[in-house]
Every structure is written in structure tokens, then in C-alpha cells.
């Protein structure tokens, strides 16, 4: 007999929200993007290149603090 072990889907959603601190998807996405922006600013200040991806050229690159990019070619 399985008494008290089953939860409905609404309960599962509420448990997930509690684990995520009650943040909405939009708020979580906003915080994630802000964390990346801040990390990239720190890298620019330190003079460390930032990895990125150029969608139009379909190639990864390293962008240096002076603004130039070095594209990675397949080997």
C-alpha cells in the first residue's frame, strides 16, 4: 500500500519553484545573462580574451580587449 507517497503535478511544480527560490523563467534568464555580461566585463578589464561564436560565419572566435577577433579554423 502506497499511502502519502504520490504527488500531483501541481505539487511537483511548487516543489521545483521552491528549489529555484521562486524565480520565474524570465527572471532566471535575466540573471543568467547579467552574470555572463559581468564576467565578460571582468575579462576585458583583466585583458583576457573572450570566447564567442559568430553565427553568420559559423565559426568560434576569441575577442581580445582591443576589439580584434581571431577566428578558429577547423583542423
**Where do the domains of the chain lie?**
9-71
What are the pLDDT tens digits along the chain (75 aa)?
Answer: 445 555 555 555 555 555 657 888 999 999 999 999 999 999 999 999 999 999 999 999 999 989 999 999 876
DSSP track, 1-50: ---S----HHHHHHHHHHHTTT--HHHHHHHHHHHHHHHHHHHHHHT--E
pLDDT confidence of residue 12: 58
Interacting residues of 57 by C-beta distance below 8 A, sequence separation 6+? 71
E strand or H helix that includes residue 62: strand 59-63
Amino acid at each position: 500500500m502506497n499511502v502519502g507517497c504520490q504527488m500531483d503535478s501541481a505539487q511537483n511544480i511548487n516543489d521545483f519553484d521552491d528549489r529555484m527560490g521562486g524565480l520565474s523563467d524570465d527572471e532566471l534568464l535575466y540573471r543568467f545573462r547579467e552574470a555572463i555580461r559581468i564576467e565578460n566585463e571582468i575579462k576585458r578589464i583583466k585583458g583576457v580574451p573572450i570566447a564567442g561564436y559568430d553565427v553568420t560565419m559559423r565559426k568560434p572566435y576569441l575577442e581580445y580587449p582591443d576589439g580584434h577577433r581571431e577566428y578558429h579554423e577547423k583542423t
